[in-house]
Amino acid sequence: MYNYTITRLSYLPIFVMLFAGGICTGGLGGIAIGILEKDAIGILGGTFFGFVAGLMSGIAGLIFTFVFNAVAPVFGGLKLRLETAPVELQKTNPNPEPPASTDP
């Protein structure tokens, strides 16, 4: 039924993805608060808030990944079933071989 099981995750990609997401959401919220303050210090504080939110999000992701890596082998991990794509959705060769030259 299932043909793959995830029992271990890599730390760096999880950290990078959550850090980037935290910076985007926290940065937008922080800059919005800074603009509402109508002060240059508020805008810089908002960008700092975005950085801190991204850092906290990335650290939370590291903690979640550590917990997953610790308990996944005990509980059997995440079961995945992968299927091949239908023929019409499979990638075709975008650069087929050119026909042979017929120059004399």
Give the tens place of pLDDT for each residue, 43-97: 777 778 888 989 999 999 999 999 999 999 999 888 888 887 777 766 666 566 6
Domain assignment present for residue 81? The answer is: no
Domain assignment present for residue 36? The answer is: yes
Token duo for residue 40: 């240059």
pLDDT at residue 49, rounded to an integer: 83
Give the number of domains in the chain. Answer: 1
Comparing CA positions, the residue from 8, 24, 10 lying closest to residue 57 is 24
Domain assignment present for residue 90? The answer is: no
Comparing CA positions, the residue from 17, 14, 66, 26 lying closest to residue 50 is 26
Comparing CA positions, the residue from 81, 89, 92, 90 lying closest to residue 1 is 81
Domain assignment present for residue 33? The answer is: yes
pLDDT at residue 14, rounded to an integer: 94
Distance CA 14, CA 67 (A): 13
Distance CA 74, CA 86 (A): 35
- In this structure, the dihedral spanned by the alpha carbons of residues 33, 36, 41 and 44, taken in order and rounded to 10 degrees, is 40
The position carrying tokens 């120059």 is 103
Domain assignment present for residue 44? The answer is: yes
The boundaries of the domain holding residue 52 are 11-74
Domain assignment present for residue 101? The answer is: no
